[in-house]
C-alpha cells in the first residue's frame, strides 16, 4: 500500500523548503523528469521506516503575492485527487491572508486528514504569534521552522501515524 502526502499553500510560505528538507534528511529519491514543465514535484520520504510519497505543489508559480484563487484551487485539486493526507502550510511572518482563508474554506470540506503547518516559527515570539492560525478552525496544528527543522519531527509523527 502506498501513502501520499501533499503540501499545499500560497507562494512563499516555505513548501519547497520543507519538501527538500524531508527528502534530503531521509535520503529519499526525487523523481526528476527534466525538461518537463510540471506544476508539482514528487519525492519519496522515509520517517522511521514509514515510507510515503510527498508532493510539492505550485512548483512553477512565481513567488509573488500576485497570484489568484485559481492557482489555489489547482493545488488543492491535486491534493484532493492524489493525496491521502494534506499539509496545509501557512506563514507566521505574514499572518493569515485572504488566500489562506480561501484555501482553508476548501480544505475544511475534505474528510482527508489536514495538518495545518505554521512555518517560519523560528523563535519564541513567533511561537506566540502562530497561535493566530488556530482561528482557521482545524484540529491538527503544528508550528515548525523548515529552515532549522524544529517541529518537523512531531509533524512527521502525526503525518505518518495512519501508515
Ligand atoms: P514556497 O513558494 O511555498 O515553495 O516557498 P519556498 O520554500 O520557496 O520559501 C520561500 C522563502 O521562505 C524562501 O526565502 C525561504 O528561504 C524562506 N523560508 C522557508 N522556510 C522558512 C523558515 O522556516 N523560516 C524562515 N525565516 N524562512 C523560511
Ligand atoms: Mg515552491
The band of 38, judged by pLDDT with boundaries at 50, 70 and 90, is: low
Mean pLDDT across the chain: 88
The band of 69, judged by pLDDT with boundaries at 50, 70 and 90, is: confident
pTM of the model: 0.91
Stretch 117-133: mean pLDDT, rounded? Answer: 97
Q: Binding residue per annotation — 66? A: no
Residues 84 and 163 sit within 8 Å (Cβ to Cβ): no
Please state the atom number of ligand 1 nearest to the C-alpha of residue 17.
7
Assign domain 4-160 one CATH number from 3.40.50.300, 3.30.230.30, 3.90.25.10, 3.30.450.20: 3.40.50.300
The residue to which cell 535520503 is assigned: 27
Q: Would you say residue 27 has pLDDT above 90?
A: no
Residues 136 and 100 sit within 8 Å (Cβ to Cβ): yes
Q: Binding residue per annotation — 9? A: yes
Q: What ligand has the least distance to the C-alpha of 17?
A: 1
Q: Would you say residue 62 has pLDDT above 70?
A: no
Q: Can you give the residue ranges of every domain in the chain? A: 4-160
Residues with CB under 6 A from ligand 1: 9, 11-17, 63, 119-120, 122, 145-147
Which of 12, 17, 143 to mutate for ligand 1's pocket (most ligand atoms within 8 Å of CB)? 17
Residues 67 and 9 sit within 8 Å (Cβ to Cβ): no
Checking ipTM against 0.90, whether it exceeds it is: yes
Amino acid at each position: 500500500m502506498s501513502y501520499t502526502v501533499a503540501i499545499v499553500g500560497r507562494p512563499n510560505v516555505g513548501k519547497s523548503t520543507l519538501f527538500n528538507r524531508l527528502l534530503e534528511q531521509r535520503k529519499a529519491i526525487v523523481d526528476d523528469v527534466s525538461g518537463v514543465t510540471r506544476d508539482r514535484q514528487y519525492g519519496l520520504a522515509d520517517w522511521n521506516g514509514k515510507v510515503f510519497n510527498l508532493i510539492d505543489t505550485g512548483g512553477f508559480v512565481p513567488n509573488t503575492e500576485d497570484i489568484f484563487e485559481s492557482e489555489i484551487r489547482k493545488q488543492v485539486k491535486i491534493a484532493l485527487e492524489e493525496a491521502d493526507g494534506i499539509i496545509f502550510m501557512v506563514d507566521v511572518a505574514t499572518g493569515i491572508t485572504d488566500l489562506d482563508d480561501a484555501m482553508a474554506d476548501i480544505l475544511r470540506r475534505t474528510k482527508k486528514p489536514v495538518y495545518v503547518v505554521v512555518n517560519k516559527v523560528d523563535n519564541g515570539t513567533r511561537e506566540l504569534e502562530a497561535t493566530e492560525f488556530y482561528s482557521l478552525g482545524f484540529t491538527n496544528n503544528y508550528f515548525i521552522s523548515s529552515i532549522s527543522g524544529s517541529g518537523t519531527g512531531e509533524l512527521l509523527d502525526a503525518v505518518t501515524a495512519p501508515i
